[in-house]
Amino acid sequence: MIKKLFFEIGGYFSDHHKIEIKGNKGLYNKTSSGPYFLNPEEFEIDSEKMEQLIQILNVIDVWSWEREYFNSEVMDGTHWQLEIVLLDGKRVKSEGSNKYPGSEGIEFSDKFLKLIRAFELIGRIKISEI
């Protein structure tokens, strides 16, 4: 079970998305005007979806992600942050700018796409919106 999850992603000229989960309750927010979140949408995650989410986190081995992924050759672009704490004590805190776990370029890696698809699973972020 997730004790706490925080994920935010956005770019200089693109939408910003933020998900916060505590237990089985969550908040999702999207804005097109920079990182100013005004109208959070509340949601609940049933036990089956929670189990699937945690399974995906384990498959992509999010627990071994590095603390930072930064591409110093790109000034404007996509920035992201992720923090997860499970009730069993597993945790990760990772962030990046124009670089992702498992990718050397500025493209989303397979692992990162699977993370976003995990959030699609709970009915929030859409890959096509990022």
Splitting the chain (130 residues) into consecutive groups of 10 residues, what average pLDDT does each group show? 93 84 91 68 91 95 97 87 96 96 90 91 67
User: Strands 91-97 and 68-70: what pairing?
Assistant: parallel
At 5-38, the pLDDT tens digits run 999 998 877 788 889 999 999 998 888 765 566 7
Task: Return the pLDDT at 40.
Answer: 82
Q: Could you tell me if 125 and 116 are in contact, meaning their C-beta atoms sit under 8 angstroms apart?
A: yes
Task: Return the pLDDT at 46.
Answer: 92
Q: Could you tell me if 11 and 86 are in contact, meaning their C-beta atoms sit under 8 angstroms apart?
A: no
User: From the CA atom positions of the chain, what is the Rg in Å?
Assistant: 14
Q: Could you tell me if 22 and 41 are in contact, meaning their C-beta atoms sit under 8 angstroms apart?
A: no
Task: Return the pLDDT at 74.
Answer: 83
Phi, psi of 79 (to 5 degrees): -115, 145
User: Strands 68-70 and 25-31: what pairing?
Assistant: unpaired
